[in-house]
Structure 1
Amino acid sequence: MMTSASRADSPRERILEAAKTEFALHGIAGARVDQIAKSARTSKERVYAYFHSKTELYRIVATQEMEAIAAATRLDPTDLPGYAGRVHDYFTAHRDNLRLMRWGQLELLGNSSDEVVDAMTARKTEQIRRAQLDGHLDPDWDPLDILTFVSQLATAWADQAPPGRPLNETPDEASAGVAQAAFLSARRAAIVAAVEKLFPAAQS
């Protein structure tokens, strides 16, 4: 019986982890399957044995990341400012993951429907719709607009370098100075305040 530790070091899991790094750096078109195989300590043939195409491999990696994002940020339609703050926190701590998702938006947009993205979007908009019906949110907004605007605001600073700092600096290094920590804290506060002004709970 395969344990969780052995699954984590299986060729398939190593390929997925290596692919996540490669796609974040180079996108789908620019990612090299031979580099993924090398990083995963396996062969290019083994990669294609598990995944039929590079696009399929990207979709699986992106699906795993979307599930991780959903678990870490926990959409609460009755507290959209808090949700926006959590999304900001997640992506400022995982900037590579934001690049990973944006490559898919750039390269796959309009090419085909993504059932996973569509299902997740439908689930979240339905949560927002129920909150509107329950009087927690202004019902005049389209739920999809609410979700989109909050997501855009929440990630507005996630891939922006603080003044005088390179974007590829890690969060720990970037927050080493008091001034930089204050800068990041102020950006988060601005996001939360903006969402609060746009989508306050409806008055009963």
Structure 2
Amino acid sequence: MARGGADPQTRILEAARAEFAAHGLAGARIDRIAKTASASKERLYAYYSDKKQLFLEVLELNLREFSSDAVLTDNDVPAFAGALFDHAMLHGDHLRMIDWARLETDGTWLPALEVMLGYRDEQVRRIRLAQAAGRVDASWEPAQLMTLVFGIASAWVHEPGGMLTHGGGFDSVAIAVRRANVIRAVERLIAPSATPAIN
């Protein structure tokens, strides 16, 4: 639920985040967003011209939060993978929004796309620094490695069995084991190897 003490636009954005994550662009309803935000539809349309503009605003907001929350630091790629995993567990709605955007928009996500591309390019630059420092196998093409790390970190979010049983409760022990496995897999992935990676 949106916070009652927040200003109307903030309440609308918070309500829209939950609505779009659950129903996507096509299935979301402006009247439900307005009701949850304790705002009128007229007030909502004073801020956003249509539902798609509100959707893209939420997408950009989510991506800005993500890009400041999970950052590669100290040349530590395994710790970065752990941070990505943590974000995926705590903010599954962010990943769902990206999935909805892929399915329901024409790809013109600007400025949300600019946020994501800028974030990706910065993390790729940091992977190069980690390679230069000898912390990451230099045979990896950094952008390819970035994609693999993302895939490992989000594996349980997109794993079919996990998706079908979603809502079965939060098991902190299982989550901790999965996080440890993410870090272990990335440690092995980046370890120096005599076999060149395929770029």
Is TM more than 0.5 here?
yes
SS at match of 2:156: coil
Matched residue, 1:103: 100
Question: How far apart, in 2, do the equivalents of 1:106 and 1:84 lie?
Answer: 26
Alpha-carbon contact 1:87-1:155 (below 8 Å) kept:
yes
Number of aligned residue pairs: give it: 188
Matched residue, 1:174: 170
Matched residue, 1:34: 31
SS at match of 1:174: coil
Q: Which moves more between the two structures, 119-128 or 80-89? A: 119-128
Question: How far apart, in 1, do the equivalents of 2:34 and 2:71 lie?
Answer: 34
Alpha-carbon contact 1:91-1:98 (below 8 Å) kept:
yes
Matched residue, 1:87: 84
TM-align CA RMSD: 2.8
Matched residue, 1:116: 115
Question: How far apart, in 1, do the equivalents of 2:79 and 2:143 lie?
Answer: 18
Offset at residue 159 of structure 1 (A): 5.1
SS at match of 2:155: coil
- Alpha-carbon distance change, 193 to 185 in structure 1, aligned in 2, over 3 angstroms: same
After superposition, what is the alpha-carbon deviation per residue over 1:31-85, rounded to whole angstroms, capped at 9, x for unaligned?
Answer: 1122111111112222222122322222221222222223332323721111111
Offset at residue 162 of structure 1 (A): 8.0
Offset at residue 147 of structure 1 (A): 1.4
Question: How far apart, in 2, do the equivalents of 1:111 and 1:97 lie?
Answer: 18
- Alpha-carbon distance change, 102 to 34 in structure 1, aligned in 2, over 3 angstroms: same
Alpha-carbon contact 2:67-2:119 (below 8 Å) kept:
no
Q: How does 1:131-146 map to 2 (within 5 A)?
A: 131-146=130-145
> Which of 182, 192, 196 is the matching residue for 2:183?
192
> Which of 150, 171, 183 is the matching residue for 2:174?
183
Q: How does 1:10-89 map to 2 (within 5 A)?
A: 10-76=7-73, 78-89=75-86
TM superposition score normalised by structure 1: 0.77
- Alpha-carbon distance change, 53 to 185 in structure 1, aligned in 2, over 3 angstroms: same
TM superposition score normalised by structure 2: 0.79
Alpha-carbon contact 2:8-2:37 (below 8 Å) kept:
yes
Question: How far apart, in 1, do the equivalents of 2:59 and 2:84 lie?
Answer: 16
SS at match of 1:9: coil
After superposition, what is the alpha-carbon deviation per residue over 1:75-119, rounded to whole angstroms, capped at 9, x for unaligned?
Answer: 237211111112112222332333223222333364556222222
List runs of 5+ in structure 2 lacking aligned partners.
194-199
Alpha-carbon contact 2:63-2:94 (below 8 Å) kept:
no
SS at match of 1:24: helix
SS at match of 2:157: coil
SS at match of 1:42: coil
- Alpha-carbon distance change, 115 to 69 in structure 1, aligned in 2, over 3 angstroms: closer
